[in-house]
Amino acid sequence: MKLTFLGAAQTVTGSRYLLEAGDKRVLIDCGLFQGTKNLRLRNWDPLPFPAGSLDAVILTHAHIDHCGYLPVLARSGYRGPVYCTPGTADLCGVMLRDSARLQEEDAAFANRHGFSKHHPALPLYTLEDAEQALRLIAPRPFDEPVALGEQLSFRLLPAGHILGAASVVLCNGHTVIAFSGDLGRPDDPIVRAPSPPVHADYLVVESTYGDRLHDALNPEDELAEMFSRTFARGGIVVMPCFAVGRAQEVLYYIARLKLSGRMANVPVYLDSPMAISVTDLYRRHMSDHRLTVSQVHAIDHAAFMARTVDESKAIAGRSGPMVVIAGSGMATGGRVLHHLSLYASDPRNTIALVGYQAPGTRGAALEAHAPAIKLHGDYVRVRAEISSITSLSAHSDYRETLRWLAGMTCPPVRTFVTHGEPAAADALRRRIVETLHWDCCVPEYGQSFELAEEAVRPYPCTPSPAEEPAPAPAAGAAP
């Protein structure tokens, strides 16, 4: 059995892990590389295997850095199933079509301005490629064993993080290989707590926050203070916001704040067709989250939904106080640019940053208090208050990850730390070695490891106090 790290190795994007077991080849996650140019260029590298030679793809969740390369795989000849949870399947429809549209727009922009050395510049993939990939999606519920062959099977466990997100537990004969996927937080008010796989011979665990602990601040308090400060000045809050998860979380808090009277009853606009589509999916996947029907209803009614361009333009004609939530989350594009160009220069207003701002983005420039930002070709002075709401996060911090790991009754023979910048990945590796005493390493991009079929466990398995001893390895996962 061989495991190869084709992405998310000492970086947080491009999650792709190739597992070769007997005559089967399975790709776990099929993500796009994002961020700096040297990472993005990897999206254009030829696949290190013929796409048609894969037997299955299994997705942990629908963030683009985990599913956004699927259209390339489909165009390259892959025709097999893409397994994921029903929630992820629905989200992939929204995400891949949007990603294809962005790829096509980028190529058109490069052609108009002669940016590319290729003539004409081609998109990484098109909407048609995305549609072809979506036809391969084969949803499977949580906790249900799925056979991939005589020896090989898998199941999906809740990982929290975003709607539909899963950890993947593969069994090859008696050997169990688990992939954490992106781990959510145990006390997230919306998504379910991540559940550890109990038993794994080999484990791949994410380390986005491997070197950090989250702020102990309460997001509801942080938002309440920011809103009341701004509204007292008669100002407008512009919030660049991620469409999946974060927009719904912010609306959840706004609904609560208005209900408790801690926030003035000002108009709130969700100016993001993608976020609106994602919000609709919470109603379709009630068992994937902790919200009640009335809480989903409250999120739906916490904002006016601006679907059309005309509805978006109408917001600009209004005066404050009000809240405008719009994509993209790092102000790299989308409708939020229009609102920033209108409102950034007024000191009564606030630009609220509610998510991670990658280096080089407009969001990062705002976070660093840049005196001006370039919007639609012109520089706009930034006089609005910049408020970073730091307590919202969809990823576990290292203490929460260690607690998730400690929930496994059997220490893995080997643990691979991925999906983190080098410092974060190494910090988590050290903590796992020091606190759990597990064998642990940080793989490099393209590195392969032979996994023993009959793994010799150097540690005793100790049942957790709350449970009976786990039965034989691979229990519950055989088809």
For Zn ion, the closer CB: 395 or 431: 395
Report how far apart, in Å, the C-alpha atoms of 340 and of each of 89, 292, 300, 382, 449 are: 33, 34, 24, 9, 48
For Zn ion, the closer CB: 182 or 300: 182
Write down the least CB distance from residue 396 to Zn ion, Å: 12
Per DSSP, the three-state class of 128 is helix
Residues 6+ apart with CB under 8 A from 95: 62, 63, 64, 67, 68, 244
Write down the least CB distance from residue 476 to Zn ion, Å: 26
For Zn ion, the closer CB: 95 or 107: 95
Q: Which of residues 205-264 bind Zn ion (CB under 5 A)?
A: none
Report yes or no: 7 and 31 within 8 Å, Cβ to Cβ: yes
For Zn ion, the closer CB: 350 or 393: 393
**Residue in the block written with tokens 């391969």:** 136
For Zn ion, the closer CB: 175 or 396: 396
Write down the least CB distance from residue 391 to Zn ion, Å: 18
Q: Which of residues 105-164 bind Zn ion (CB under 5 A)?
A: none
Tell how far CA 474 is from the center of its chain: 28
- CA angle at residue 104 from 328 to 419, to 5 degrees? 55
Write down the least CB distance from residue 357 to Zn ion, Å: 16
Write down the least CB distance from residue 65 to Zn ion, Å: 7
Q: How many residues in the shown chain lie near Zn ion by CB under 5 A?
A: 2
For Zn ion, the closer CB: 182 or 397: 182
- 16, 63, 256, 431: residue in contact with Zn ion (rule CB under 5 A): 63
Which residue stretches of 181-272 are H helix?
219-232, 246-259
Give the HSE-up count for residue 47: Cα atoms under 13 Å, Cβ half-sphere: 23
| Axis-axis angle for helices 293-300, 246-259 (nearest 10) | 100
For Zn ion, the closer CB: 356 or 438: 356
Considering only 62-70, 309-317, 352-360, 372-380, which stretch makes contact with Zn ion by CB under 5 A? 62-70
For Zn ion, the closer CB: 21 or 159: 159
**Residue in the block written with tokens 């792709």:** 16
Residue 361 DSSP code? S
Cβ-in-10-Å burial (0-12, 13-18, 19+) of 275 comes to: buried
Measured distance CA(58)–CA(67) in Å, rounded: 10
Write down the least CB distance from residue 243 to Zn ion, Å: 13
Site track 330-359 with Zn ion (rule: CB under 5 A), x = hit? ------------------------------
State the CB neighbour count (10 A cutoff) for residue 456: 7
Considering only 127-135, 176-184, 231-239, 355-363, which stretch makes contact with Zn ion by CB under 5 A? 176-184
Write down the least CB distance from residue 210 to Zn ion, Å: 15
Considering only 124-132, 177-185, 202-210, 226-234, which stretch makes contact with Zn ion by CB under 5 A? 177-185
Write down the least CB distance from residue 90 to Zn ion, Å: 16
- If binding is defined by CB under 5 A, does position 182 make contact with Zn ion? yes
Per DSSP, the three-state class of 167 is strand
The helix/strand count (H/E) of the chain reads as 14, 22
Considering only 6-14, 17-25, 63-71, 428-436, which stretch makes contact with Zn ion by CB under 5 A? 63-71
Write down the least CB distance from residue 32 to Zn ion, Å: 12
Give the HSE-up count for residue 422: Cα atoms under 13 Å, Cβ half-sphere: 2
For Zn ion, the closer CB: 65 or 300: 65
Considering only 180-188, 219-227, 314-322, 471-479, which stretch makes contact with Zn ion by CB under 5 A? 180-188
Measured distance CA(42)–CA(76) in Å, rounded: 16
Write down the least CB distance from residue 85 to Zn ion, Å: 14
Residues 6+ apart with CB under 8 A from 263: 223, 224, 227, 228, 254, 257
For Zn ion, the closer CB: 175 or 208: 208
Contact residues for Zn ion, defined by CB under 5 A: 63, 182
